[in-house]
Amino acid sequence: MDFLLPLDMSRRLLRTSTLNCSHTLTIKFNTLPQFKQVDGRCHFQVDCDGRVFQVTMKQKQWSKLETASTTYAQWVAALSGKLGAATSDGFVLEEPNIQVFERSAKQNESQTEAATPQQSQVKNRLLA
pLDDT range class, residue 9, cuts 50, 70, 90: low
Which residues, 6+ apart, have CB-to-CB distance to 25 below 8 Å? 80, 81, 82, 83, 93
Domain presence at residue 13? no
Which residues, 6+ apart, have CB-to-CB distance to 59 below 8 Å? 40, 41, 42
Domain presence at residue 12? no
User: Distance (Å, rounded) from C-alpha 45 to C-alpha 40?
Assistant: 17
Which residues, 6+ apart, have CB-to-CB distance to 28 below 8 Å? 76, 77, 78, 79
- pLDDT beyond 80 at 119: no
Domain presence at residue 9? no
Q: What is the pLDDT of residue 44?
A: 95
CA dihedral sign of residues 28, 97, 18, 85: negative
pTM given for the model: 0.65
Domain presence at residue 49? yes
The number of domains in the chain is: 1
Domain, as residue range, for 81: 21-127
Domain presence at residue 15? no
Query: Residue 35 sits in a domain of what CATH number?
Result: 2.40.50
Domain presence at residue 39? yes
Domain presence at residue 112? yes
